[in-house]
A = this chain, B = another copy of it.
């Protein structure tokens, strides 16, 4: 069986996770890594050995799909020109609600016009958790689903804090309070001369933190606390038909970048099996995420 060729755009935590997942995938092959930043290129060249590292996707040969392991805000600009060359895209766009649905509506006609497909928001939330939330409602149509994150490091919130003036290093943890509520713990190393309380007041007003219970802790060595483990607990109880007290729980404890990189790679397999268009994960037959032929997979998994 010929392996399908997959490019990875970006080489941060998630890009690195995707590269590793591709290296052990039986049916996919890493075509190369696409990077713009000089520092990133040097780092990637060191760790990737003979894998091509290029500035533009077009420099790689015969790419079937590109995994966009880039910040969410870059996806809406990055995906369309790739789809226009007939190459499928998979991203892990993580801004729930309207922005996500807008991305889907934008990419869908472009993919159709060029006879290719896009899978959007292929992480674990949004992503596989979205599939689980859908399945929970198929089993228990009336009731409430709570999504409880953590405890674990929020990559996104950590990046936001690091952008504040006066912050030398930072770590933002998400801690579940139960039944879908959360608090955040923020560990902060300030630059010399920075007023800790004034900085905390500024961060507290940021839209990323303004609506949450946040606890700030001064910290001299933030890196000593870093662990990219994360967890989620989806819970739903309610009724099926006229019968109550139907209960379902989904729990996951993972190294976060490896999980997201893996979902991107599983979705790369799926994107090559879909008709032209843009898809979120609950719109894809789950068996399409796995390597191998459908009959053998079903025989084993059902």
Contact = CB atoms under 8 A, between A and B. Distances in A.
B139 A135 contact: no
Nearest to A120: B302
Given A96-B302, A289-B138, A259 B282 contact: no
A222 to B, nearest CB: 22
Nearest to A266: B138
Nearest to A284: B285
Contact of A138 (B24, B253, B254, B263): B263
Main secondary structure of the interface of A (DSSP, over half): helix
Contact of A241 (B97, B245, B262, B294): B262
A171 interface: no
Interface stretch (A78-86, A125-133, A209-217): A125-133
10 contacts: A97-B299, A130-B298, A134-B297, A138-B290, A246-B255, A246-B262, A282-B298, A283-B287, A283-B294, A285-B285
A137 interface: yes
Interface in A141-188: 141-142
A77 interface: no
Given A24-B241, A243-B255, A249-B251, A128 B132 contact: no
Most B CB within 10 A of own CB, among A19, A134, A140: A134
Q: For the complex formed by this chain, how many copies does it contain in all?
A: 2
Given A295-B101, A302-B126, A258 B286 contact: no
Given A96-B302, A283-B285, A301-B137, A254 B246 contact: yes
Contacts of A133: 301
Interface of A: 17-21, 23-25, 96-98, 100-101, 104, 121, 124, 126, 128, 130-135, 137-142, 240-243, 245-255, 258-259, 261-263, 265-266, 280-287, 289-291, 294-295, 297-299, 301-302
Given A21-B241, A258-B240, A286-B282, A100 B302 contact: yes
B253 A250 contact: no
List of 8 A-B pairs having minimum Cβ-Cβ separation, nearest first: A243-B258, A20-B241, A240-B262, A138-B289, A21-B241, A138-B266, A134-B286, A282-B287
A266 B141 CA distance: 9
B139 A286 contact: no
Contact of A250 (B241, B249, B281, B291): B249
Contacts of A295: 101
A217 to B, nearest CB: 27
A97 B299 CA distance: 5
Nearest to A244: B255
Given A283-B298, A286-B135, A247 B242 contact: no
A302 to B, nearest CB: 4
A77 to B, nearest CB: 21
